[in-house]
A and B are shown apart, each in its own frame.
Chain A
Amino acid sequence: DGGITQSPKYLFRKEGQNVTLSCEQNLNHDAMYWYRQDPGQGLRLIYYSQIVNDFQKGDIAEGYSVSREKKESFPLTVTSAQKNPTAFYLCASSRGGSLNTEAFFGQGTRLTVV
């Protein structure tokens, strides 16, 4: 079955540590996205990538980094520079281009700083 997979589902991080959230898709989608969701709030864009080896900052990129070495994978690293990393993180993908394309979402990763 095609889909988008995020792992782990729950992640705990000590202050000062970097952590990497995994996002893999087998939908052959060109575009991939990372969003942050805080309790009771909407989705805010962290980074997005329209094609392999290319990515752009979203609205809240500070303290985060990404890579897009493969079409299928778009990992997100939450660095120690991110002052308030506790949140729910959603990865998405879409076919991209000027198409009426919906975004497909993973099931999310809840990150907690302890």
Chain B
Amino acid sequence: AQTVTQSQPEMSVQEAETVTLSCTYDTSENNYYLFWYKQPPSRQMILVIRQEAYKQQNATENRFSVNFQKAAKSFSLKISDSQLGDTAMYFCAFKPEAGNMLTFGGGTRLMVKP
């Protein structure tokens, strides 16, 4: 069974600054996918970024990028130039290549301050 751990229950950052959210996972799988989801106050889950474990290059989506360290089983999310609209819960998630089960971490509540 896989486990996903987010060690930061809450974080805050000043608008326009950079913040990094941590995620570690435990698995015996070699091929898998990792995701970061955002849940704003509306409660709608929105995919922020995804990473395939077989790719060494870190994924980037505009202001969002990841630092994927496969050996360390670490998958952190960096948000650059933070905006007020980034205020939300952020969830890290794991999916093995074989199978559909998606496992989530406990979430990090991010507050962007003006």
| Contacts from A to B (Cβ < 8 Å) | 30-31, 33, 35, 40-45, 48, 50, 58, 88, 90, 92, 94, 96-98, 100-103, 105, 107-108
Distance to closest chain A CB from B103 (angstroms): 7
Q: What separation, in Å, do the CA atoms of A83 and B50 have in the docked complex?
A: 36
Given contacts A90-B45, A107-B43, A107-B44, contact A48 B104 (CB under 8 A): no
Query: Which bucket holds chain B's interface residue count?
Result: 20 to 34
Once the chains bind, are B106 and A50 in contact (CB under 8 Å)? no
Once the chains bind, are A108 and B101 in contact (CB under 8 Å)? no
Q: What separation, in Å, do the CA atoms of A103 and B102 have in the docked complex?
A: 8
Once the chains bind, are A92 and B50 in contact (CB under 8 Å)? no
Tell me whether chain B's interface is mostly helix, strand or loop, or mixed. Answer: loop
Q: Which residue of A lies closest to B101 (CB)?
A: A48
Once the chains bind, are B44 and A48 in contact (CB under 8 Å)? no
Q: What separation, in Å, do the CA atoms of A23 and B35 have in the docked complex?
A: 23
| Chain B residues, CB < 8 A from A100 | 33, 50, 52
Q: Which residue of A lies closest to B43 (CB)?
A: A108
Once the chains bind, are B33 and A43 in contact (CB under 8 Å)? no
